[in-house]
Chain A
Amino acid sequence: MASRFLPKLRSSRPRGFFREFNYTLFTIATWIPAVIFFNGHVGEVTWINGSSMYPFLNSSYDESLEKDVCWTNKWSPITGLRRGMIVSFRSPSNPETVSIKRIIAVEGDLVFTRAPYPLPTVRIPVNHVWVEGDNKDTNKTLDSNTYGPIPVSLIQGKVTHVLWPWKSFGPIRWQEFRSRARVIKGRPENAPGWD
């Protein structure tokens, strides 16, 4: 089929190697915007840096330099957020870095906070979530205990699958996550709002 169209693409003049090469490069380059759209709105392969999600992700961070590779679903990222889901978002304390953390509490919940947070408990406001890293060492994760509840409009995607290492390959079963009894579940209508 393709051979039917290919001769049409090229002019009848003979071309040198470089002209042909440039033509191929240009054809590839015209698809770059499609890749940008796909990575921004459909899904993206993500390399996990650091140990904030240890032991769930980067479980061998202290043994090797290898990073876990995950798949981030970026289609309608702010719908259907549940406790236990792993999400990616631009860090509130540093806009140029992307953070990957677990949702601990959603709007209306009461959270018992950890060390750097100034208050012992906080009720999550409307359209906000409380995110934390899995690491028990609180020095290894920069999360809501430092910057507070984050607005859901910051969230870019949900981390849905582990692609590498091979032994943990597969979908992330976030439903099986049990938080460490520091959240009292509430109702969305009880969340503090601004209206």
Chain B
Amino acid sequence: MHKIWLVIKREYLIRIRKKSFIVMTFLGPLLLASVLILPIYLAKNNQEKRNIAVANQKDFTLDDNELLNFVTIPQNEVDNIKTNFEDSPYYALLIIQEDTYCLYSNQQVTLNVVNEIKRQIEYTLKFNNLKKIGIDNQTLKNAEQSIDLVTKIINKEGESTKTHSEVSTGIGFLGGILIYMFIFMYGTMVMRGVIEEKTSRIVEVMISSLRPFQLMMGKIIGVALVGLSQFLLWVIFTVAISALAEMVLLNDVFLNANNIENQSVIITQIKNLTSGINLIQIFISFLFYFLAGYLMYSSLFAAVGSAVDAEADTQQFILPVTLPLILSFILIQPIIDNPEGPLAFWMSIIPFTSPIIMMVRLPFGVDSWQIILSMTILVSTFIMTTWLASKIYRTGILMYGKKASFRELLKWLKY
């Protein structure tokens, strides 16, 4: 046990010290966050308060807001401003006459300014019209109501929970793709590690000190910890960056850009959207399927690595290993379209596809017996593949210069 721990420590440290790991760890969430936040940030920065000169011939009140500042000017200044527009402090000049509303500027007025002015004028007109027929301000305000259309699913117990099918789709897709990415990235990392040990000829020195199985498992577990660290760091950084961004940017931008439903903040939004989806269950399942799926595949990747002398030779062995992975990836969309169908069911039970497909299905709700069955099969398969892989591995790592065939791999199982 002490030796396997030494191997885990080396495999872990050597990888997290790499520049690429550090860069990815910080860059990943930053990239993600910036995709979300940059457009908002840019929009906000462009929205400095603009002064709109208003020459009003009607009884109009326009409300200032974060974007716009309305300055009423006397009629006789209109021509003066029009001729010297460059020098005036105004972004645009709004002239309201009997039935015409006209916005002058020396540049193309942005759409949100136009929309905002249009909305205010229309609102005021509607308000004035209603007032004429005796409906006052308060009655009008009371009459306004915004709603949220709720979709619900009926389950066996007859209870219904609020769902948002777009959100389920999104979470399913994200979970499936993350598992696919992690298994691929870290599985091949294990394979490359094994090949490196072979090509650098350190492996015989190593296994004169410890059993091949210890070396293989040490590597697999070490790389798994690298993957988990990366994932957890991403979660932490993304949450931290989002929280920071919300504090700095979203509060004022969001709240003031849309002046309806002012209390909506991103967190409550997420809470609303994901109600009916068991996020904790999904998170725990994600960790489980990531680990078990990774362990199953990485032992196969290790066996492939041990059977070849160089990464270029891996093609013939790697295809059968990655085929189920790629198949599950392709089938994510059809599974999302029909998450309860027989294809979805079987693929979430078969261990080679279950890590990805079950993650896709989970947000739509899966019976617990299916989850337990799928997990049990996955764990037993992982134990079996690890056992088989270690047999190939311990022979393969000592074979130099020979190109192994599948038949030879089968023979190695018997040594």
- Genuine A/B complex: no
Interface residues of A (CB under 8 A from B): none
Interface residues of B (CB under 8 A from A): none
